[in-house]
Structure 1
Amino acid sequence: MSAASRFGWNPAHRVRLAAAVISPVILGAAAGGILLLLGERRSLTIAIALPAVFLAAGVLISLIVGIALLVRSRRRRSRARVAAAHIEGEAVGQRTERESHRTFLARLDHELKNPLTAILATAAGRDSPEWHTVDAQARKLGTLVRDLRKLAELETRELEREQVDLELLLQEAVEAIRQRDGASAARIRVDVTRVPWTVPPVHADIDLLSLAIDNVLGNAVKYSAEGPIEVRLREESGWAVIEVADAGRGIPAVDLPVVFDELARAQNARDVQGSGLGLTLVSTVLARHGGDVALRSVEGSGSVITLRLPLR
């Protein structure tokens, strides 16, 4: 945007401004030319005291510097307003995108629920291999729809916070695995740092936090058929840190940048049942609590997923 348009000057304003600036120069030149033509040769001498010269020079310099600083300040404020408007525009765009995404997930869940129910009801009681395949695939799709619904709810539901003992929550998650699969639970070791101090409780929504931890532990069990699984809890610089490490198949390096994306599945995980939404759910839960999640993995060696929650 030009200076003229920024200050609201139209062409008529610019013409009047130019005339106001140039007119004194033209009038002065015209008067001087007429006097020269008339043979006027007299001179005018003005005596000014030296201190007054320095004073006038100082005032002039101060005036010039002040005008320059004022112009610079206005330019900075203008740039700041433009930057703030740009940032606000991006934030509004992101909010709109998230709202559209949640609306899409809710609509998808609604549209798929009835057809899935009909397919499962039709496949029930059929003994042929074909119908068994239909039933299995319908249940897989039902799990995907359920997880999509969970994801949409996670992004909108109000958090019901309370004081949560993370060590107790981890023990309950391991016990839930033990009830389903005692052999896998026997491979899990929970290590809690208590020296020089224990990990304080976190102010969190216990249901959502349980969902995140169950997903992380479930992945460790699914993708490591054998070998130890270590769960570590510690306090670190005002954060509660939970690490879940396994000696499983790991994730190929090419898949690591997208593991938290919706429906993303590693190339070496196609044989394991899953929706590809587990880590997305975990990431959403941690973000809503002001925390974060990170994953380190080496294909063929195992993975370490780190959850961080603020203690204050």
Structure 2
Amino acid sequence: MLSTVQAKLLIVDDLPENLLALEALIRREDRIVYKALSADEALSLLLQHEFALAILDVQMPGMNGFELAELMRGTEKTKNIPIVFVSAAGRELNYAFKGYESGAVDFLHKPLDVHAVKSKVNVFVDLYRQSKAMKHQVEALEQSRREQEALLKQLQNTQNELEQAVRMRDDFMSIVAHEVRTPLNGLILETQLRRMHLARDNAAAFTLDKMHAMVDRDERQIKSLIRLIEDMLDVSRIRTGKLSIRPSRFDLVQLVNNLLQNFAPQVEAAESSVTLTAEQPVVGNWDEFRIEQVISNLLTNALRYGAKSQIDVRVYNQHGQAWVEVQDCGIGISEENQQRIFQQFERVSAKAVVAGLGLGLFISEQIVAAHGGSITVESRIGEGALFRVCLPLQENSPINATSE
């Protein structure tokens, strides 16, 4: 509403009685009238307030009204304020012409016509309010434009994220289908082969040694399926903040040593070798199952991408922290890929067909972070990769333990 805009009026005259008379004439509830007895006093008020109109007496001691108007027109803050001159001098002095030259919008002669003064002031106050209202509308439109641009950018980002999510979902489903099919195909073929031997009453196919081999093959395939399912469940737990961390006191060196013994068949199958360097026990409070999961992921990747090279594992403590390093001499990881391998469904090689869901490093990083530690990688293409896991050694270190 225009009427809600408060209008400020400035009247300048060296005679107090003239100021009081003019103030009584133009004052209203929706206006504030400021009075000045000199040009210097008027300038001070002009710098403090925004006025809808200035009514200046021409003849004043010191700086007269014309000089004050010229100063107002030369100042950025006051150059657009409408000026009305008032003078008691006769028309023959041609003050009106000089006033218009000074930038006035009107010139009034004393004695003032009450109706004319009220009418002119009303016009300039209405123009001021309309100008303010238009300015507010422009600002509102500009604010709306900025908000729309921000919303559009947000929608574009959301669309990009959704498109990325769809691509990740499709890639994930493709990877899952491939990874699940591999052990299932093995189990199906084994089952079909046994059914064929049974149909032919071929008892020789079920000797004790052959049964042991069958069970071992089945167990490997089943474990592979279980691992895939556990990885997917861990991702779900991480997303919902329900990744279970149950700390207990154990020796990290002993855990790694036992793990390497269990990895012996995989190491042999990969035509690789593993060395462990650990000069003393490294004991701390961590979740043994989860830390084993992390190191297993690192060893699996080292065997997968190590190009049949030697893998060096080192366990030590330094500066109140436990360190586990796994280094291979394989294909290496580009700097660009180093930034994304800890994300979901990312795998080191996009050119070669590799096993796994691309979740191992993502899950490992989340597990280590839940222990208050960190996991980093150093690598160059063709020069292998070095993964470092850092875990706090303090017994009372904060651990984000949650229950499933």
Q: How does 1:165-180 map to 2 (within 5 A)?
A: 165-180=251-266
Counterpart in 2 of 1:156? 242
CA pair 252-33 structure 1, distance change in 2 beyond 3 A: same
How far has the Cα of 1:216 moved from its partner? 0.7
Counterpart in 1 of 2:296? 214
Give the secondary structure class of the aligned counterpart of 2:361: helix
User: Which structure 2 residue ranges, 5 or more long, are not aligned?
Assistant: 22-164, 194-222, 395-404
Q: Write out per-residue CA displacement over residues 114-165 of structure 1, whole angstroms, 9 at most, x where no aligned residue.
A: xx79x959956457xxxxxxxxxxx988864442113223541332111121
1:233 equivalent in alignment to 2:315:
yes
Distance across 2 between alignment mates of 1:229 and 1:275: 23
How far has the Cα of 1:228 moved from its partner? 1.8
Of the candidates 226, 231, 237, which is equivalent to residue 147 of structure 1?
Answer: 231
CA pair 303-31 structure 1, distance change in 2 beyond 3 A: same
How far has the Cα of 1:35 moved from its partner? 9.3
How far has the Cα of 1:268 moved from its partner? 5.5
Q: How does 1:40-59 map to 2 (within 5 A)?
A: none
Q: Which amino acid aligns with 1:224?
A: G
CA pair 289-175 structure 1, distance change in 2 beyond 3 A: same
Indicate if the aligned counterparts of 1:291 and 1:310 stay in contact, CA closer than 8 A.
yes
Q: Write out per-residue CA displacement over residues 16-35 of structure 1, whole angstroms, 9 at most, x where no aligned residue.
A: xx88xx9xx98x99855479
Distance across 1 between alignment mates of 2:371 and 2:390: 10
Counterpart in 1 of 2:326? 244
CA pair 35-144 structure 1, distance change in 2 beyond 3 A: closer
Counterpart in 2 of 1:135? none
Distance across 2 between alignment mates of 1:203 and 1:11: 71
CA pair 250-269 structure 1, distance change in 2 beyond 3 A: farther
Counterpart in 2 of 1:92? none
Structure number with the bigger relative contact order (C-alpha 8 A, sep ≥ 6) is 1
Larger Rg, first or second structure (1 or 2): 2
Counterpart in 1 of 2:349? 267
Q: Which amino acid aligns with 2:338?
A: L
Indicate if the aligned counterparts of 1:177 and 1:185 stay in contact, CA closer than 8 A.
no
Distance across 2 between alignment mates of 1:209 and 1:178: 19
Counterpart in 2 of 1:204? 286
How far has the Cα of 1:222 moved from its partner? 2.1
Give the secondary structure class of the aligned counterpart of 1:258: coil
Distance across 1 between alignment mates of 2:262 and 2:15: 100
User: Which structure 1 residue ranges, 5 or more long, are not aligned?
Assistant: 1-9, 37-100, 128-138
Indicate if the aligned counterparts of 1:252 and 1:268 stay in contact, CA closer than 8 A.
no
Of the candidates 275, 278, 281, which is equivalent to residue 192 of structure 1?
Answer: 278
Q: Decide which structure has greater helix share.
A: 1
Counterpart in 1 of 2:28? none
Q: Write out per-residue CA displacement over residues 243-282 of structure 1, whole angstroms, 9 at most, x where no aligned residue.
A: 1111112223442221111111123663332221111111
CA pair 294-11 structure 1, distance change in 2 beyond 3 A: farther
How far has the Cα of 1:306 moved from its partner? 0.7
Distance across 1 between alignment mates of 2:224 and 2:351: 15
Q: Write out per-residue CA displacement over residues 183-215 of structure 1, whole angstroms, 9 at most, x where no aligned residue.
A: 769721111255xxx64x222111111111111
Q: CA RMSD for the aligned pairs? A: 4.5
Counterpart in 1 of 2:390? 308
Distance across 2 between alignment mates of 1:215 and 1:34: 89
Q: Which amino acid aligns with 1:173?
A: L
CA pair 141-265 structure 1, distance change in 2 beyond 3 A: farther
CA pair 159-33 structure 1, distance change in 2 beyond 3 A: same
